Amino acid sequence: MNPAPPRRFNLKYLPLAATVSLFVAMATLGSAMYTGFFSAQVFLNLLIDNAFLIVVAVGMTFVILSGGIDLSVGSVVALTTMVCASLVEHRGWSMGTVIPLVLAMGTAFGAFMGFLIERFRLQPFIVTLAGMFLARGLCYLISIDSISIGNETFAAVSQMRIPLWADASLSVGAAIALAVLLAAIFIAHCTGFGRAVYAIGGSEQSAVLMGLPVRGTLIGVYTLSGFCSALAGVIFTFYMLSGYGLHAVGLELDAIAAVVIGGTLLTGGVGYVAGTLFGVLMLGIIQTLIAFDGTLSSWWTRIVVGLLLLAFCLLQRLLTQRAPKA
C-alpha cells in the first residue's frame, strides 16, 4: 500500500501567513532597535489605540468576503460620535439610553443600504458612497463644531482600565473589540450565515443554485457592517470624549487596507477574520515604530501602508491566477 502523499501548503493561506510573519518580524526589529519596545503594554496599546478600527474592519471583512464594499463606515462612526455627544451634552440623555439608540441607528443605516443593493441590484460602491456623503452631511446638520463630552459616566468609562498582569492593562474599548472579534470568528466559521457569505463571495450564482439565502445574506452583511460602524463610533467617543463631523475621515480606507493586508481577497470568498486583526496590528505597529524612532514624519505610515497594500494586491493576483491550475 502506497503511503499517502504529503500535504502541500494551501496557497490561500499565503497572504495570512505573510501578514503574521511580517508582524512578528517588525515586532522583533522594534525590540532590537528601541529600548522599552518589547513590553506587554506597548503591544496592548496597539489594541487600545486601534480598537475602533478593529471593530470597523471586522464588519468590512464580511462585506468584502461577500464580494462587496462599504465606503460609509467612517462617516457612520463620525455620525455616531455626533449623536452621542449632542444627546448627552445638549439633551441630558444618559449613556444607557444613547448607546442602544446609536447602535440601532447604525444597524438600520446598514440594512437600508443592503436592501438597496440587493433589491435593485445597485453597485455597492455607489450605494455606500452615497451613504458616506449622507452620514457625513448629517453630522454637520447637528453641529459644524466639535462637541466635547463632560458627562461623568462617559469620562469614567473612557479612563477605566482592566488590569491583566503586573502593570499591563486594557481599555474598555479594546475589550469590546476583542469580544467582537471572537464573535465574528464564530459567526464566520461556525454558522450558516458565515458559510453563505463565503459561498456568495465565491460565486453568487452557485450560491443561488445551492439554495442558500442569498438575498437575506447580502442584506445581512451590510446590516452587520452598519452595526459594527456604530459600535466603533461608541468606542471612538470613549476614546476622544467628543463628537465631530471630521472624526474618522478616511477610516474606510484604513479598514479596507487592514482587511486586504490581513489576507482577504478583494474579489471575495477567501479570507479570515483573524487575519483582519493582524492587518490592523500591522498598521498600528508601523505607527509605533515611527513614534519610537522620533525622527521620521508620520506620513511615512501612509507610504509604508501603501507599499504593503500594493504588495498584497499583487500577491492576491498571483494566487487568483494560479487557483484554476490547482
**Integer angstrom CA distances of residue 23 from 10, 16, 26, 260:** 21, 11, 5, 15
Q: Per residue in 31-68, pLDDT tens?
A: 999 988 888 899 999 999 999 999 999 999 999 999 99
Q: Are 214 and 208 in contact (CB under 8 A)?
A: yes
Burial class (CB in 10 A: 0-12, 13-18, 19+), 166: exposed
Q: Are 197 and 188 in contact (CB under 8 A)?
A: yes
pLDDT reported for residue 16: 84
Q: Per residue in 226-260, pLDDT tens?
A: 999 999 999 999 999 999 999 999 999 999 999 99
* Domains delineated in the chain: 11-325 (1.10.3470)
Q: Which residues contact 53 (CB under 8 A, 6 or more apart)?
A: 232, 251, 254, 255, 258, 280, 283
Closest to 62 measured CA to CA, from 249, 228, 245? 228
249 phi, psi to nearest 5 deg: -65, 125
Q: Higher confidence at residue 166 or residue 192?
A: 192
* Total-model pTM: 0.94
Give yes or no for residue 106 having a pLDDT over 80: yes
- Size (the chain), residues: 326
pLDDT reported for residue 325: 41
Give yes or no for residue 301 having a pLDDT over 60: yes
